Structure 1
Amino acid sequence: MFRNARRIYPTLRSLLLGAVVASGVTVATSAVVGCGGDENDPATHVKKLSDPATRVPAVSRLVQFFEDAMTKDNKDRNGPNVKPLLDKIVEPMSQLCATGDLDEKTQSKVVKFLSDARDARGAPCLIKTLKDYKPDSTEEDVRAAARGVGPMKAKEAAGPLFEAFTKLRHSKPKASLITRDVHDALLDLADPSWESQCTTIIGKPIADRKDINVLKDEFYHQITCAEILGQLKAASAVKPLIKIVLSPVKADAQATAIYALIKIGKPSIDPTVKLLQGGDSELMDYAKGEFLKANTGADGKVQDAAKKMADTAYVAPAALILGSIGREEAVQPMIDAIAKADDTGKVVIARELLKLPTSDTALKAVQGVYEKTSITMTIPPGVGAREQLLETMGYLFDASLVPWMVKNALDAKGEDADLEPMRASTLLAVTKLMKADQVAEVDKLFNSKTTGPDNKPSTLGKGFEKEYKMATELLKECGDKLDCYFGKLADPNSHVGDKQFIGIKSAYMVGVLGGDAARPKLVELLPKITNAATKFISVQVIDRRSAKGDATIAGQLQKMVDEAEATKDSNKIAAVNPFKTVIYRLNARGQ
């Protein structure tokens, strides 16, 4: 028994000594932490940034502090937890970034933190990141830097940001992932110092659309620069922007160039009118050359028809620009241009003339073009000429046109196969525009005889029975009472399922009956209108009834666009996209 006790004693002694040693280690460790400061105090980790041995974990801990504070303050960078924290850690982290004494992973973590912080004291790090951009290497850091300097409006970042932009090649896989972020940052800053460089960039020719990589790179740079020039309202860029619209080779950038010209506004008018009137030989020759280039076959030859069209290739683009800007000083020059244009040119000019503030003279000129246009004629990109004019005339919201439209449709001569598309377009147009006392007139067209798809006798209105019934019942209910149509627009049931045409017809009737005074109420109702077509018609009414522009309404519409884009919801963004042209036009008219 005692022998066993003697054996156990050394074992117990060693265990006890081990416990004492372990206890000593524990106490010693606790003492080190205690001397190093409070681990829950950001200041403790800021001090550790100066020591290479503790720098990396200190960066991670400080970033974690920030993320936790953002969660507590519901992403509010000025919140009671976030703001005091940023005051302590932004400058030390920015200084650490600037020294370059970090491994790539930790450097990226610091850059992303300073981007998310959106604190001006972190801008030097983000600017350095942009300056140090290495293609196919540091794209993620550049993305983070761009996401920071744009919303921060860091003007000192303008030069480095634009330099990084010129290095980007959208055709490269890594770069293509960040081109949108850099684009957005450029538009956030829109620095005037870029005007000259952007004007040069949009003027670069595109020799061959077959080189897809070059095409991607050029369009990224040219489209972005066109947007910047529009935002800057750069009058010096008007002719280079017009050249984009004149070049079929640059078709992908044309919509952006037109938006830019609308934003520039009044300074865009005189050069475009001069072109439309055939008074700018430089632009006319450029349009001809670009048209021929686009229509050159694989054998290097241009067909005779294309050669003939090349001489007037400037007419349609010039009319499109003037119609899109929508200022009244373009009305008379466009009326005058109709007489000198070929058949296609007449229709295009007439269509764009309808987008300008209306006058009796302008309307008569358009009606004259319509009546002389063949029912089989098409205009680029292959749509019926009369159908295009009818659709655009609908946006005049002028019910006095209904009898004239009906008469022209019924009096037209030709083959049934050619007449039916035009008559169907007319019926749809007059159904939207007609007032209660015009239903009997429209009934004549609705009940006109035709041949159905089964080659049996039918009526033109057979394919529109549901919509026509809704329209006539709505007119019986509301008559000429504007508030009744506003009530229908406010009713969610008017925008869903098989009732959608009630909302569309109601929007047209607000345009027909409402006048300028209806605009504020329409703006108020827009968020409640969920149907895209009805929303589009509603903003067309606002546009039509704002001949002199309206900066206040433009600002209200812009707010809706900004709110939709902030959600990142593609459906919400698409629903407000039509607002943009109207916003630009309202501002341009008010200059």
Structure 2
Amino acid sequence: MLRKARLIAPLVRTFLLGAATTARFWGPAVAVSTLAVSSTVLVGCEDENDPMTHVAKLKDPTQQRQAIKQLLQMYADAESKDKKSNDKPNVKAILDKIIQPLAETCLDDKVKDQDRSKLVKFMADTRDPRGEPCLKKTLDDYKPDTNEDDVNNVLIAIAAAKLTNLQPQVMKVFQTMEFSRPKAKPLGPNVIKALKVVGDKSQEETYIKMLEPAIDAEVGPASVNQGFWQQTSAYMLGHIKSEKAVKPLLKVLLTPSKAPLGSYALLSLVKIGKPAVAPSEALLKGEDAELLKFSEEEQLKVAEKDQNGKIPEAAQKAAKKAYLPIAAQVLGNFGNEESTQPLLSALEKAKEDPADRTIIALQLTQLPKSPATIEAYKKVYEDTKLDTEVPGVGPAKERLVVSASQFFDPSLTPWLVKTSADLKGENSEIDPVRGFAFVAAVRLMTVDQIADVTTLKDTKAVTEVQDEKGQAKKKDTTVGEAYKDQFEAAKKLLENCKAETKCYMTAATNADNQKKDNPFTALKAINMVAMLGTDAERDELVNIVKDIDNDEVRAATLVAIEKLTPKNGAAVADKLEGYFEKAEEAKDTEKMQKYNVFLQLAAKLRAR
């Protein structure tokens, strides 16, 4: 035993000495190689497939970037594995391990911008509440022309996940961004979506104050920025139904330099609904001294001066009553019975002003029809002279006669025919009015009125054509010559369907009738549904309107839905808004653009 032990000892020394000798022979290279092998063995003890291995490296600046890359790749791999799983077990498992460390890394000011952007996008895409601190910091750090891409990702996440906790940060971005800068423009739609999610009454004072600054008529960065801030503020005040905003929104409408914001202010007043009716009515009656003074001053600011630098007396008079048609437009857009009497009273008050009477009368077509509104409308038309022109409207007589069809009342058809026959004057004056009256009559006529409308169609008229030398010359024609195809299509439809609403619904929804080159049959059919239909037909129109591709037919369908919903429109509004929301969820921009008008109608229906 002792002998064997002695034999082993030299062998051990040989191995040890051999190693030492070899090391000395190869010098540093072998020493490095030996260390490298030793190091590899140590690292090999770590599990590269364990997320915690890379989490540990997040605090090491030299390894942080690679660690972030590895962790994000692991998450992507987990998503791939869970593609067919509703429970997402792999995603949940890794997210629980990495979300908190990555969120903390995002908050580290020393993290490189490129790496932080990856973290922000990850937090925004996962929409995990534990990542909110990272999203909050991104918005808090926003300055124009800095981290717009990161901010955009966060805004998208806020809108999608309804992260209401970030309300202050969203407001900060909205008030800081300058829409005139190219990098800020992509933020516009998404900041509005985020504002809608976080919006509530606590913000109304801020939005109201943002409506106050003047907007310079000259286009420049400052006016573009103010335009965006005020347009969005006007929209949001309607979204949160701010009763305090009624007068500020009316002031926007009364300010000529803010005309581009008018549609947003008007829609918001409609959304606010009943609380906006009384102030609008007081303005229409001339009872709100503050708004009357404001309106006059704003009008005089933009009035043209004469050669002596003074505002002409006519312009001063016009400034005093500029509020009247604006208040009428607001009440008309509410579209409810409560607006009827104020508008009828305003008509009486404006009896000496044909332009104001025209504008007020046109609003009557938006209200639930009644004998009083129809008779008042007819009187305004009959009293209007052939040469009356209204700014923003055009020839008053023509506009009034064609708009009569918006009452959707076939009893107006004989009146249209008679008043057209009674017109006196030169052909150049009366033929255009008769032409528009014929169009309105065709829209309204029923099967038993075809003969009357045929009489108007065949009424002699004069038109101008060019001869072979290009010179204008008069030519005899008839009132209905230019619209004969539409008349024949309407006549055929009426003779086929008579008074059967179901038949008209079939014609309205027929794909061939909705072709872009000739949709008149569908348009006439929808008009007949609006006149003959009930809630059942209205609901059917609501169900199909989203699938109508023809713009004219879709617009006519929305009008019919509105006319068939004089009261209690909340359920219809819910469905119309739902179409837009589904398109928004699917990120279908084409449908979102097509359905945007649904939101406007929904707002009107809710006000009823």
Residue type at the aligned position of 1:439: I
Return closer, same or farther for 1:297/1:108 CA change in 2, 3 Å cut-off.
Answer: farther
Render the CA deviation track for 1:514-564: whole Å, top value 9, x for unaligned. 133421111122133221111111111111121223211111000112233
Query: Hey, what does 1:538 align to over in structure 2?
Result: 557
Q: Does 1:279 align with 2:287?
A: yes
Q: Tell me the distance in 2 between the aligned counterparts of 1:467 and 1:72.
A: 60
Task: Give me the whole-angstrom Cα distance separating, in 1, the residues matched to 2:322 and 2:88.
Answer: 59
CA contact (8 A) 1:77 1:83 kept: no
In the TM superposition, residue 240 of structure 1 has moved relative to its aligned partner by: 0.2
Question: Which residue of the other structure, out of 297, 302, 308, is the alignment partner of 1:294?
Answer: 302
- 2:354/2:388 contact within 8 Å kept: no
1:578 aligns with 2:587: no
Shift of 1:67: 4.5
| One-letter amino acid matched to 1:103 | K
Runs of 5+ unmatched residues, structure 2: 1-25, 466-473
Whether 2:367 is the aligned partner of 1:348: answer no
The 3 A distance-change label for structure 1 pair 23 and 558 is: same
Once the two structures are TM-superposed, the CA of residue 68 in structure 1 deviates from its matched residue by 5.0
Deviation at 1:48, TM superposition (A): 2.8
Paired residues in the alignment total 572
Answering whether residue 200 of structure 2 is matched by residue 181 of structure 1, we say: no
Q: Which residue of 1 aligns with 2:485?
A: 466
Q: Identity rate of aligned residues, in percent?
A: 35
1:27 shift after superposition: 7.2
1:430 and 1:78 mapped to 2: Cα distance? Answer: 62
Residue 36 of structure 1 aligns to which amino acid in structure 2?
E
Instruction: Please list, as runs of the form range in 1=range in 2, the aligned pairs for 1:106-145 lying within 5 A after superposition.
Output: 106-145=115-154
**Is the CA contact 1:488–1:494 (under 8 Å) kept in the aligned structure 2?**
yes
Q: 2:213 aligns with which of 199, 204, 207?
A: 204
Provide the TM-score with structure 2 as the length reference: 0.88
Alignment of 1:506-585 (within 5 A): 506-566=525-585, 571-585=590-604
Q: What pairs with 1:416-431 in structure 2 (closer than 5 Å)?
A: 416-431=427-442
Which residue, out of 309, 312, 317, partners 1:308? Answer: 317
* Offset of residue 451 of structure 1: 1.7
* Distance in 1 of aligned mates of 2:369 and 2:122: 55
Amino acid at match of 1:538: T
Per-residue CA deviations over 1:428-477 (Å, capped at 9, x if unaligned) read 11212211111111111111111233221111211112211211111122
State which of 444, 449, 456 in structure 2 corresponds to 1:445: 456
1:266 and 2:277 matched: no
Q: Tell me the SS of whatever aligns to 1:450.
A: strand
State the match for 1:216 in structure 2.
Answer: 224
Q: Within 2, Cα distance between the matches of 1:81 and 1:583?
A: 43
* Partner Cα distance (2:96, 2:223) in 1: 46
| Equivalent in the alignment of 1:10 | none
Contact 1:489 1:525 in 2 (8 A): no
Aligned residues of 2:393 and 2:399 also touching (Cα < 8 A): no
Per-residue CA deviation, residues 243-298 of structure 1 (Å, 9 max, x unaligned), is: 00111110111100111101100000000000000101110111111112122459
Paired residue for 2:45? Answer: 35
After TM superposition, the structure 1 = structure 2 runs for residues 95-114 of structure 1, keeping only pairs within 5 Å, are 95-114=104-123
Which residue identity does 2:376 align to in structure 1? A
Residue by residue over 1:321-376, the C-alpha shift from the partner in whole angstroms, topping out at 9 and shown as x without a partner, is: 11111221121111011011121111111111221122211211111111111223
| 2-structure distance, mates of 1:322, 1:570 | 32
User: Which stretch shifts more, 290-299 or 434-443?
Assistant: 290-299
Q: Give the conservation status (yes or no) of the 8 Å contact 2:402–2:439.
A: no
Match of 1:243 in 2: 251
Root-mean-square deviation (CA, aligned residues, Å) is: 2.8
For residue 338 of structure 2, what is the aligned residue in structure 1?
Answer: 329
Answer yes or no: is 1:232 the counterpart of 2:251: no
Letter in 1 for 2:379: G
- Counterparts in 2 of 1:309 and 1:191: CA distance versus 1, 3 Å: same
1:458 aligned counterpart, secondary structure: strand
Asked if 1:155 is matched to 2:164, the reply is yes
Q: Which residue of 2 aligns with 1:89?
A: 98
2:416 matched to 1:405?
yes
Distance in 2 of aligned mates of 1:297 and 1:577: 41
Distance 2:478 2:433 in 1: 14
> How many angstroms apart in 1 are the aligned matches of 2:152 and 2:87?
24
Q: Which moved more, 1:490-499 or 1:243-252?
A: 490-499
Q: Partners in 1 of 2:121 and 2:224 — Cα distance? A: 28
Residue in structure 1 matched with residue 425 of structure 2 by the alignment? 414
Q: Is the 1:377–1:384 Cα contact (8 Å) retained in structure 2?
A: yes
Partner of 1:146, secondary structure, is helix
**Bigger Cα displacement from structure 2, 355-364 vs 144-153:** 144-153
Aligned mates of 1:27, 1:413 — CA distance in 2: 109
CA contact (8 A) 1:277 1:337 kept: yes
Distance in 2, Cα, partners of 1:183 & 1:32: 54
Q: Give the C-alpha shift of residue 390 in structure 1.
A: 3.5
More deviation in 240-249 or 449-458? Answer: 449-458
Change (3 A) 1:553 1:209: same
- The one-character-per-residue Cα deviations of 1:131-167 (angstroms, maximum 9, x if unpaired) are 1112222222222222222322222211122122111
Who wins on radius of gyration, i.e. which is larger?
2
- 1:331, 1:356 within 8 Å by CA — same for their partners in 2? yes
Counterpart CA distance in 2 for 1:579 and 1:187 is 17
SS at match of 2:477: strand
Q: CA–CA distance in 2 between the matches of 1:22 and 1:365?
A: 102
Distance 1:577 1:237, change over 3 A: same
Q: Which moved more, 1:294-303 or 1:411-420?
A: 294-303
Q: After TM superposition, list the pairs within 5 Å mapping 1:360-509 onto structure 2.
A: 360-454=371-465, 455-509=474-528
- Going from structure 1 to structure 2, the CA distance change for 1:23 and 1:442 (only over 3 Å counts) comes to farther
1:354 alignment partner AA: T
CA distance in structure 2 between the partners assigned to 1:580 and 1:307 by the alignment: 39
- 1:298 and 1:170, CA in 2 relative to 1: closer, same or farther beyond 3 A? farther
3-state SS, counterpart of residue 395 of structure 1: helix
Cα distance in structure 1, aligned partners of 2:150 and 2:225: 21
Query: Counterpart in 2 of 1:5?
Result: none
Structure 1 residues 273 and 452: alpha-carbon distance in aligned structure 2, compared to 1, 3 A threshold: same
Deviation track 1:52-85 (CA, whole Å, cap 9, x = no partner) reads 2221122223333444555666799975554444
CA distance in 2, matches of 1:427, 1:59: 72
Mapped to 1, the partners of 2:32 and 2:493 lie a distance apart of 89
Distance 1:346 1:325 in 2: 19
Q: Which amino acid aligns with 2:336?
A: R
2-structure distance, mates of 1:27, 1:529 = 72
**Which letter does structure 2 place at the counterpart of 1:188?**
V
Unaligned runs of 5+ in 1: 1-16
Note if contact 1:123-1:149 (Cα within 8 Å) is conserved in structure 2. no
Question: Which residue of the partner structure matches residue 155 of structure 2?
Answer: 146
Q: Distance in 1 between matches of 2:90 and 2:401?
A: 61
Q: Is the 8 A contact 1:557 1:583 kept in 2?
A: yes
CA distance in 1, matches of 2:442, 2:67: 70
